[in-house]
Amino acid sequence: MTYAIVTQRFLAYFKEIAALDQSHYPERMAQCFIINVPYVFWVVWAMVKPWLNKHTVAKIQIFAGNYQSTLQEYVHPSQLPEEYGGTNGSLVQYYEQVFQKARLLGVDV
């Protein structure tokens, strides 16, 4: 299997999912923040963006860095983990708690 086939399959799958989500759940997303994106993301975004309707695209904000002030306009710092400029502990601590609770419930994690 070549990289080109995987990419084609991924893009075709994404296109179908985007169409399904937009037609059946058009107003589920208030805002979407995509942060700390690598350079290659912009290439993928340029391919994917035309498949999304303009209303959906307007709700998506993409940041390679310097996103904290914009993010905090929508999400209070007390609700954000420290890694994203908030004051709500670290993600590592959060997931440790989640896994601990799951184990107590008998879930294999």
What is the DSSP track for the chain? --HHHHHHHHHHHHHHHHHHHHHH-TTS-S-EEEES--HHHHHHHHHHGGGS-HHHHHTEEEESS--HHHHHHHS-GGGS-GGGT-SS--HHHHHHHHHHHHHHTT---
pLDDT attached to residue 1: 45
Nearest Cα residue to 58 out of 66, 49, 47, 48? 49
Mean pLDDT, range 93-98, rounded to an integer:
88
Please name every residue paired with 33 in a beta bridge, in sequence order, or none if there are none.
61
Write the pLDDT tens digit of every residue in 6-52: 577 877 888 888 888 888 777 777 888 999 988 888 888 898 899 88
Tracing tokens 């502990």 back to the chain, one arrives at 89
pLDDT attached to residue 6: 55
Write the pLDDT tens digit of every residue in 59-70: 999 999 899 999
pLDDT attached to residue 91: 87
The pLDDT of residue 109 is above 70:
yes
